[in-house]
């Protein structure tokens, strides 16, 4: 299938060939017939991509602050690489799609193959969308009208927040695509509407839809126009659908509003508010979030958990349905908004027109006739390579940030032979597979495991799939590198241990390794060498200044990410086990107590481990610290001597004969050495990490998490 991508680094728009996405539970697959280019959002992305690096920085000052903090903690070179990698990664464009359902996932009700639907899918020939983000199109609504549903729902959600009533007067500031749809929706509510914009052609359309207009570019005063439209009383509400850095729209909205009027921000404007304007009139100001309740809620958008209608009347999906009903009733007119039509292969011309023609509104992308069956889920990226079967030939499961920015480059530097990269959405596999030199991209893990040329796999998917995929790969006779954690629960760990034992029954079976890279970093290797000269027990303090992440982030979800202790603190449990060189015999864990107003999470905890040789250590995993403090600090006390490692850049020895410091120009957490160790383990038949240690650390980590959750 073909899909449109945008490069944020240089602004280039491209149409790429990609595998069709993998169908998941709760989702449907749609063969696209038409999609709508969002004149506001997508123009902003194109202009951002084409801007200079300095201009990008000026547009996102908060990102600049984050970059500067990263320089302080991780070093300049590491930060530069991270920024370049982020800007060079293309993003999928589009969120207004119409097509026919060609596959239905498990658990989906109310949708069937052949249904014509709208969705928030991207510009692609085939899209995978959660069922809660689709709505069936009435028979009397054509595709070109239906494709405006999602952008209309954005305006509709702003209107719902404003709660207009029959006879009220509203102003709509900025009558681009969403603004013109908002004008019509307000008119359908029985409201009088004043449309404000600098573009006379857009105001002409607003007048066709029944609005009075004001053009500040011609010297007309928006505040005076608002007062005139409301018989001098002030407008009842203002919907801001403009896109500007200026705060003038908000100021004018406040000045034209009646006492206790409502102002809703749907677009993007400056927000330098005058307190007096709002205070004296007791104005309400609210920012509208996209197309309705459910937006950005993983449980709704990914898990398919709908909100009960009795308590949440209007969700994203139900807003889509409301817009479609208005289209079917002839109360919403979209054909006057269509300014351009392009074939999918002409996407480059479409985005040039979007950037250069400010009057462009409804830009439609038209797709070839919908296929009768889904396109292939495996595509070739390069001419078939000749692989040396005596050396590791690698398949990659997962193409997210960590896989693409860290692990794939690490394995490439180690000399791995790349065969197939798999991502369930398909497009990420193409982006990163092409860049790294894979010969195939896929969205089908089963197909990849059946490729006989592949003798090793790297699993870098979401945590809940690690144990399952590792077990399947071992059963297929593949060597396995699984990014931590190896499992997020005891049943998964037990199943993996059984799969490993079965693979090694009566023969030398495949290697299993977990991505505990920190034990392979050069400074940790130096610490290990120094500690081997000390016969007595050691004590460790490992401080992880992990930083806060949202409680609803997938890594915090115990069923998906396993929680941050299982998903991240396992690194340091393994590191302490490696440095102690002795089995773990005792575990004590305590998390921070609950506090009013703060979400209950386990990512502020103390973990104390005791070792068979008498050593002990404490891991402080803390999400409540400052980003300016080192993210990872390791301290070792032994035989009257101390070692301190900050952020895998600065290692200092206190009291060590012949050793004072080992500092690096750039951070090195051992990822390259870890990848190399896995490849060597395959070639030499000797595990890089003893399997007993892998399973010991996994069980200890799960025990720690269980202790914290019982508190």
Look at residue 220 and tell me if it is in a domain.
yes
What pLDDT is attached to residue 79?
A: 61
Asked if residues 517 and 409 have their Cβ atoms less than 8 Å apart, the reply is: no
Select from 233, 261, 287 the last residue of a domain: 287
Residues 641, 528 share a domain = yes
Q: Would you tell me how many other CB atoms lie within 10 Å of the CB of residue 60?
A: 13
Residues 590, 502 share a domain = no
Q: Is 473 helix (H, G, I), strand (E, B) or coil?
A: helix
pLDDT in tens, 105-155: 999 999 999 999 999 999 999 999 999 999 999 999 999 999 999 999 999
pTM of the model: 0.85
Residues 220, 320 share a domain = no
Checking if the pLDDT of 48 tops 70, the result is: no
Checking if the pLDDT of 372 tops 60, the result is: no
Look at residue 394 and tell me if it is in a domain.
yes
Please state the three-class secondary structure of 103-116 as a single string.
EECCCCCCCCCCCE
What pLDDT is attached to residue 486?
A: 96
Checking if the pLDDT of 64 tops 60, the result is: no
Domain assignment of residue 609, given as a range: 517-709
Asked if residues 221 and 203 have their Cβ atoms less than 8 Å apart, the reply is: no
384 pLDDT band, cuts 50/70/90, is low
State residue 410 phi and psi, 5-degree precision.
-65, -45
- Give the Å distances, CA to CA, from 27 to 22, 109, 130, 138, 177: 10, 10, 4, 21, 29
Residues 656, 521 share a domain = yes
pLDDT in tens, 599-622: 667 899 999 999 999 999 999 999
Q: What percent of the chain has pLDDT over 70?
A: 91
Going by C-alpha positions, the residue among 366, 317, 318, 369 that lies closest to residue 340 is 366
What pLDDT is attached to residue 99?
A: 96
pLDDT in tens, 315-335: 999 999 999 999 999 999 999
Q: Is 52 helix (H, G, I), strand (E, B) or coil?
A: coil
Look at residue 294 and tell me if it is in a domain.
no
Residues 394, 306 share a domain = no
Look at residue 292 and tell me if it is in a domain.
no
Q: Strand pairing of 616-622 and 539-545?
A: parallel
71 pLDDT band, cuts 50/70/90, is low
pLDDT in tens, 443-463: 999 999 999 999 999 999 999
Going by C-alpha positions, the residue among 444, 506, 496 that lies closest to residue 467 is 496
- Give me the DSSP letters along 246-296: -SHHHHHHHHHEEEEEEEEE-SB------HHHHHHHT-EEEE--TTSTTTT
Q: Is 468 helix (H, G, I), strand (E, B) or coil?
A: helix
| 191-205: average pLDDT | 96
Q: How far, rounded to the nearest angstrom, does the alpha carbon of residue 7 sit from its chain's CA centroid? A: 16
CA–CA gap between residue 19 and residue 428 (Å, rounded) = 10
Q: Strand pairing of 97-104 and 116-119?
A: antiparallel
Look at residue 44 and tell me if it is in a domain.
yes
- Span of 243-252, 364-373, 392-401 with lowest mean pLDDT: 364-373
Select from 228, 252, 287 the last residue of a domain: 287
pLDDT in tens, 485-528: 999 999 999 999 999 999 998 778 899 999 999 999 999 999 99
Q: When comparing pLDDT for 5 and 64, which is higher?
A: 5
Q: Residue 215 maps to which CATH number?
A: 3.40.50.720
Checking if the pLDDT of 57 tops 60, the result is: no
Residues 569, 437 share a domain = no
| 530-551: average pLDDT | 94
Rg (CA), the chain: 29
Checking if the pLDDT of 69 tops 70, the result is: no
Residues 262, 172 share a domain = yes
Look at residue 372 and tell me if it is in a domain.
no
| 402-407: average pLDDT | 92
**What torsion do the CA atoms of 106, 307, 488, 625 make, to the nearest 10 degrees?**
150
Select from 218, 253, 287 the last residue of a domain: 287
- Span of 81-85, 332-336, 375-379, 584-588 with lowest mean pLDDT: 81-85
41 pLDDT band, cuts 50/70/90, is confident
CA–CA gap between residue 54 and residue 671 (Å, rounded) = 31
Residues 398, 503 share a domain = yes
Q: Is 377 helix (H, G, I), strand (E, B) or coil?
A: coil
DSSP summary character for residue 584: E
Q: Is 541 helix (H, G, I), strand (E, B) or coil?
A: strand
Look at residue 375 and tell me if it is in a domain.
no
| 363-382: average pLDDT | 78
pLDDT in tens, 650-690: 999 999 999 999 999 889 999 999 999 999 999 999 999 99
Q: Strand pairing of 2-6 and 13-17?
A: antiparallel
Asked if residues 147 and 214 have their Cβ atoms less than 8 Å apart, the reply is: no
List, in order, residues 6 or more apart from 97 with CB less than 8 Å away: 30, 32, 35, 118, 119, 120, 121, 122, 123, 127, 129, 147, 150
What pLDDT is attached to residue 277?
A: 87
| 266-273: average pLDDT | 90
- Give me the DSSP letters along 10-49: T--EEEEE-PPPPP-TTEEEEEEEEEEE-TTHHHHHHHHH
Residues 510, 576 share a domain = no
Look at residue 371 and tell me if it is in a domain.
no
Which two tokens mark 87?
Answer: 């800007």
What pLDDT is attached to residue 661?
A: 95
Q: Residue 31 maps to which CATH number?
A: 3.90.180.10
Checking if the pLDDT of 74 tops 80, the result is: no
- What is the tally of structural domains in the chain? 4
What pLDDT is attached to residue 351?
A: 85
What pLDDT is attached to residue 352?
A: 84
Q: Residue 656 maps to which CATH number?
A: 3.30.360.10
Checking if the pLDDT of 59 tops 80, the result is: no
Could you tell me the maximum CA-CA distance found in the chain, to the nearest angstrom?
91
Going by C-alpha positions, the residue among 332, 327, 330, 357 that lies closest to residue 342 is 357
Residues 540, 674 share a domain = yes
The H helix count followed by the E strand count for the chain is 25, 31
| 251-266: average pLDDT | 96
Q: Strand pairing of 616-622 and 632-638?
A: unpaired
Going by C-alpha positions, the residue among 288, 294, 297 that lies closest to residue 308 is 294
Checking if the pLDDT of 637 tops 90, the result is: yes
Average pLDDT, the chain: 90
Checking if the pLDDT of 407 tops 90, the result is: yes
Residues 448, 398 share a domain = yes
160 pLDDT band, cuts 50/70/90, is very high
What pLDDT is attached to residue 40?
A: 72
Residues 482, 561 share a domain = no
Q: What percent of the chain has pLDDT over 90?
A: 74
């Amino acid at each position: 299938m073909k899909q449109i991508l945008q490069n944020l680094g240089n602004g280039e728009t491209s149409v790429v060939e990609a595998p069709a996405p993998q169908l998941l539970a709760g989702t449907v697959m749609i063969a696209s017939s038409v999609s709508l280019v969002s004149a506001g959002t997508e123009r902003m992305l194109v202009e951002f991509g084409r801007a200079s690096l300095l201009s990008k920085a000026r547009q996102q000052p908060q990102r600049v602050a984050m970059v500067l903090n990263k320089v302080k903690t991780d070093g300049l070179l590491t930060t530069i690489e991270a920024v370049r990698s982020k800007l060079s990664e293309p993003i999928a464009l589009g969120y207004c799609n119409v097509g026919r359902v060609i596959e239905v996932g498990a658990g989906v009700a109310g949708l069937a193959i052949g249904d014509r639907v709208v969705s928030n899918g991207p510009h692609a020939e085939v899209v995978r969308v959660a069922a809660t983000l689709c709505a069936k199109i009435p028979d009397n609504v054509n595709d070109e009208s239906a494709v405006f549903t999602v952008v209309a729902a954005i305006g509709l959600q702003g209107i719902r927040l404003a709660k207009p009533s029959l006879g009220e007067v509203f102003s709509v500031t900025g009558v681009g695509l969403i603004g013109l749809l908002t004008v019509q929706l307000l008119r359908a509510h029985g409201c009088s509407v004043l449309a404000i914009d600098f573009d006379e052609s857009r105001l002409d359309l607003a007048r066709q839809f029944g609005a009075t207009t004001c053009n500040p570019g011609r010297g007309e005063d928006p505040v005076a126009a608002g007062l005139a439209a409301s018989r001098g009383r002030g407008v009842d509400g203002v919907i801001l659908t403009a896109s500007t850095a200026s705060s003038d729209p908000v100021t004018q909205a406040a000045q034209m509003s009646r006492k206790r009027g409502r102002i809703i921000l749907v677009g993007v404007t400056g927000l330098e508010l005058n307190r007096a304007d709002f205070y004296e009139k007791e104005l309400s100001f609210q920012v509208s979030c996209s197309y309705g309740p459910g937006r950005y809620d993983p449980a709704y958008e990914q898990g398919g958990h709908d909100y009960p209608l009795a308590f949440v009347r209007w969700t994203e999906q139900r807003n889509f349905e409301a817009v479609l009903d208005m289209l079917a009733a002839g109360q919403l007119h979209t054909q006057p908004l269509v300014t351009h039509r392009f074939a999918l292969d002409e996407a480059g011309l479409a985005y040039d027109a979007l950037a250069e023609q400010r009057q462009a509104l409804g830009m439609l992308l038209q797709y070839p006739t919908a296929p009768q069956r889904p396109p292939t889920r495996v595509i070739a990226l390069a001419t078939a390579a000749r692989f040396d079967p005596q050396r590791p030939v690698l398949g990659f499961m997962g193409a997210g940030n960590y896989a693409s920015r860290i692990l794939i480059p690490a394995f490439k530097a180690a000399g791995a032979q790349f065969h197939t990269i798999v991502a369930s959405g398909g497009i990420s596999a193409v982006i990163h597979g092409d860049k790294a030199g894979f010969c195939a991209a896929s969205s089908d893990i089963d197909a990849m495991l059946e490729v006989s040329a592949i003798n090793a796999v790297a699993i870098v998917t979401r945590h809940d799939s690690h144990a399952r995929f590792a077990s399947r790969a071992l059963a297929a006779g593949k060597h396995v590198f699984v990014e931590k954690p190896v499992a997020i629960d005891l049943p998964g760990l037990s199943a993996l241990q059984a799969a490993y034992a079965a693979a090694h029954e009566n023969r030398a079976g495949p290697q299993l390794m977990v991505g505990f890279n920190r034990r392979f970093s050069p400074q940790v290797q130096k610490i290990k060498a120094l500690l081997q000269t000390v016969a007595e027990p050691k004590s460790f303090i490992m401080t992880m200044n992990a930083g806060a992440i949202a409680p609803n982030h997938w890594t915090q979800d115990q069923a998906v990410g396993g929680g941050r202790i299982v998903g991240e603190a396992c690194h340091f449990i393994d590191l302490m086990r490696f440095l102690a060189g002795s089995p773990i015999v005792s575990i004590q864990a305590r998390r921070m107590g609950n506090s009013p107003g703060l979400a209950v999470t386990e990512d502020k905890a103390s973990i104390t481990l005791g070792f068979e040789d008498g050593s002990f250590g404490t891991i402080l995993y803390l999400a409540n610290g400052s980003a300016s403090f080192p993210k990872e600090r390791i301290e070792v006390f032994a035989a009257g001597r101390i070692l301190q490692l900050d952020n895998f850049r600065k290692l200092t020895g206190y009291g060590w004969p012949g050793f004072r410091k080992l500092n690096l120009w750039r951070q090195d957490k051992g990822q390259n050495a870890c990848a190399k160790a896995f490849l060597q383990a395959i070639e030499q038949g000797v595990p890089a990490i003893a399997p007993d240690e892998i399973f010991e650390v996994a069980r200890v980590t799960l025990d720690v998490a269980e202790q914290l959750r019982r508190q």
